[in-house]
Amino acid sequence: MRFTTKTMLMALAGSTMLAGAAAAELTGDLTIFLDTSNPAPRATMEAMIADFQELHPDLNIETTIIDRDAYKTQIRNFLTADAPDVATWYAANRMTPFVEAGLFEDVSDLWQEPEIAEALASTKGAMTIDDKQWGVAYTYYQWGIYYRKDIYDELGLSEPVNFDEMKSNCAAIIESGRKCYTIGTKFLWTAGGWFDYLNMRTHGFDFHMELAQGKVKWTDDRVRQTFANWRELIDMGAFVENHQNYSWQESLPFIVNGEAAAILKGNFAVAPLREAGLDDSKLDFYQFPEITAGIALAEDAPTDTFHIPANAKNKDNAREFLRYVVSANVQTEINSGENLGQLPVNAKSAVDDDKFLNEGFAMLSENSPGGVAQFFDRDFPAEMANEAMQGLQEFMVFPDNLDDILNRLDKVQERVYN
């Protein structure tokens, strides 16, 4: 279903969104295409645009909201044929096809402005291709290890700061009759999260991105080292059994019931864990620990973005809208618990008084100098990601198949990137 609305909405008097950086009043037109069709994101975006309209009453804004799945199939057509001035999308590899096709505007000029360069530094890498920036992020969320603090306390364990401590903790957890980690790989992307972190912690963000870009073979010895680290956990029995039969939601009872001590997941797992009875006295969070000493810590933080199409008619107005979206106060408002309930990309924004949002914000804003990845199936081309994630799940179940898996992925890589 497709919705088209003129955002001549009533002014939201007293809205904190109006606290964004003021700019010269705009005139003319601004067309915005959004994929935020679910109720909460849609309401958030419409309210934000209404506030921008109130700042610029002589600007004619037209907003089109398209169902998210339909948007993915339509975006290339509308960027080519009758482009809006602003469009939502995703960071990193997901924007690469449109950059390479000349359909996204280079907005590096915005990133040279001190306010954006300093406040949005954590997302710059995700917005960069060929040393140029092609949009701005407006929301993201952290990944990391959520764990049963009461179980760690019972066993006298501390949050690990390196891989040796992580394995030592795991050995103690297994000795207590529990599994270290719950996971459900029935839908393959969850195994991708483990590979992302093990690869980035073993070799760093740049190497991980080189693999994603097809510049490193899967049979490379460095990739084998990543799998060797993973196998250490598999061989010690770190993961729940039969995980290939569970979705990620179906894997949650293992941590809720205390049969597993932790889960590597995005912050979206917190709400169902809380609803299942794990309050903040029992549930805690830590950053995936260091594996190779000296490798800067990079994180998975899937990022939603705004772009200016290369064929846009009102690029000056669009740039002003992007400045507004990423300003500190607007970022605080749209990412609040009452709205998107995620993390602001502006390091000067405030975060809702939520334990995990605050820990994630601190981690991404201050403690992730290695870069921000978008998650396996966003950073790798779709065909490569689909084939590779099947291989990752197979490895977790049958680790002795590694050579066959890597040789197979090399052949897929040759087909996908050439």
* Mean pLDDT of the 307-311 span: 98
Residue 364 lies in a domain: no
| Domain match, 134 and 153 both | no
pLDDT at residue 334, rounded to an integer: 95
Considering only residues 182 and 3, tell me which one the structure prediction assigns the higher pLDDT: 182
* 3-state DSSP assignment of residue 158: coil
Q: Are 288 and 363 in contact (CB under 8 A)?
A: no
Least confident range from 18-27, 48-57, 111-120, 146-155: namely 18-27
Provide the CATH number for the domain around residue 280.
3.40.190.10
If one counts the domains in the chain, the total is 2
pLDDT band for 297, please (50, 70, 90 cuts): very high
Same domain, 88 and 210: no
- Over 50: is that where the pLDDT of 8 sits? no
Query: Quick one: residue 136, left, alpha or beta (phi over 0 = left, psi -120 to 50 = alpha)?
Result: beta
Give the H/E segment covering residue 386: helix 382-397
Q: Are 137 and 303 in contact (CB under 8 A)?
A: yes
Least confident among 23-27, 50-54, 215-219: 23-27
Are residues 131 and 44 part of one domain?
yes
- How far, in Å, are 130, 175, 234 from residue 404 at the CA level? 34, 33, 18
Is 324 a member of any domain? Answer: yes
Q: Pick the more confident residue, 14 or 112.
A: 112
Residue 418 has a pLDDT of 87
The stretch 266-271 carries a mean pLDDT of 90
Same domain, 37 and 76: yes
> For residue 365, is it within any domain?
no
Residue 7 pLDDT greater than 70, yes or no? no
The mean pLDDT value of the chain amounts to 92
Residues 312 and 286 in one domain: no
Do 36 and 138 form a contact (C-beta atoms < 8 A)?
Answer: no
- Residues 193, 358 contacting (CB under 8 angstroms): no
Q: What confidence score (pLDDT) does residue 371 get?
A: 83
Reported as a pLDDT band with limits 50, 70 and 90, residue 192 is: very high
Does the pTM surpass 0.75? The reply is: yes
Ramachandran class of 169: left when φ > 0, alpha when ψ lies in -120 to 50, beta otherwise: alpha
User: 249 is in which domain, residue-wise?
Assistant: 143-300+375-417
Q: Provide the pLDDT confidence category of residue 23 given band limits of 50, 70 and 90.
A: low
The CA radius of gyration of the chain, in Å to the nearest whole number, is 22
Q: Specify if 354 maps to a domain.
A: no
C-beta separation of 135 from 300 below 8 A: no
Do 158 and 12 reside in the same domain of the chain? no
Is residue 370 within 8 Å of residue 204, measured between CB atoms?
yes
What pLDDT score was predicted for residue 341?
85
Contact 63, 32 (CB under 8 A): yes
Cα distance between residue 61 and residue 192, in whole Å:
40
Q: Which pLDDT value is given to residue 370?
A: 82
**Cα(161)–Cα(182) distance, rounded to whole angstroms?**
20
Q: What is the pLDDT of residues 212-260, one digit of tens each?
A: 999 999 999 999 999 999 999 999 999 999 999 999 999 999 999 999 9
For residue 131, the Cα-to-chain-centroid distance in whole angstroms is 21
Are 95 and 224 part of one and the same domain? Answer: no
Predicted pLDDT of residue 368:
65
The reported pLDDT for the residue numbered 13 is 31
Q: Please give the angle made by the CA atoms of 192, 269 and 394, to the nearest 5 degrees.
A: 25
For residues 31 and 111, membership in a common domain is answered with: yes
Do residues 54 and 12 both lie within one domain?
yes
pLDDT tens digits, residue range 367-418?
Answer: 667 888 989 988 998 899 999 999 999 999 999 999 999 999 999 999 999 8
pLDDT, position 33: 98
Quick one: 174 and 189 in the same domain?
yes
Q: What backbone torsions phi and psi does residue 119 show, to the nearest 5 degrees?
A: -75, -25
Distance CA 82, CA 286 (A): 46
- In this model, does residue 16 exceed pLDDT 60? no
Please give the pLDDT value at position 227.
98
Is the domain of 198 the same as that of 179? yes
Distance CA 112, CA 129 (A): 15
Report d(CA 393, CA 333) in Å as an integer: 39
Beta strand 283-286 with 143-148: parallel, antiparallel or unpaired? antiparallel
Q: Which of 185, 177, 181 is nearest to 250 (CA)?
A: 185
Same domain, 257 and 168: yes
- Cα 117 to the chain's mean position, in Å? 20
